[in-house]
Amino acid sequence: MNKVNILDTKILSDNWYILKKISFELVKPNGQRQLLEREAYDRGNGATILLFNRQNQCVVLTRQFRLPTFVNGNETGYLIEACAGLLDKDNAEECIKRETEEETGYKISQVTKVFEAYMSPGSVTELLYFFVAEYAHSMKVSDGGGVEEEHENIEVHEIPFTSALEMMQAGEVRDGKTIMLLQYAQLNNLLKIIP
């Protein structure tokens, strides 16, 4: 195993989240020492969920503006995504239940954790917890749309599962966490694929 010794940490920005410049020594298995510097963006850990309805063969996805995608060539800046949010001080399960209600308007009580993953480990510290949950229209308690104080303007879409997969194949769904959850649902037969 490589050994890592942190030598120095400087905060470059704490405007939105925390961007650090870290100097460290990496000792490789062969004993060779390397002095390196990297930047790491710490925005906390998060959770995401795919809501699915077996009876109607649908999933609930959101659409919202994402500035970094706009800056990187996404013409509109909007992405179709699975519901997600930062943990803040909650555990992952409580976080995703809260975020689901805020963003989609569905109040869910049962969620299943399916895996966890680092989404951009070369530069971002975030560990993302992935969940799935069944929903029914009787669970709808509001229109959703996010929290106004957080400047969220989220559209909620109920989409047939086969259409969501087609959107993914066509490049209309380009969000990594959403693609992972749709593929999980497909691989684990959570919903039927209707030709």
What would the pLDDT profile of 70-105 be if each residue is shown by its tens digit? 999 999 999 999 999 999 887 999 999 999 999 999
**pLDDT tens string 11-33:** 999 998 999 999 999 998 888 99
Give, in order, the Cα–Cα distances in Å from 179 to each of 12, 79, 82, 98, 120. Answer: 32, 12, 9, 22, 15
This prediction's pTM = 0.91
Q: How far is CA 16 from CA 9, 42, 132, 179, in A?
A: 18, 10, 29, 27
Residue 1 pLDDT more than 80?
A: no
46-187 maps to CATH 3.90.79.10: yes
Burial status of residue 21 (CB atoms within 10 A of its CB: 0-12, 13-18, 19 or more): middle
**145-178 pLDDT per residue, tens:** 776 766 677 999 999 999 999 999 999 999 999 9
pLDDT digits (tens, 9 = 90+) for 120-146: 999 999 999 999 999 999 999 988 877
- Residue 78's alpha-carbon distances to 64, 68, 72, 102, in angstroms, are 5, 10, 12, 19
Q: 43 near 86, Cβ under 8 Å?
A: yes
Q: Assign 195 a pLDDT band (cuts: 50, 70, 90).
A: low
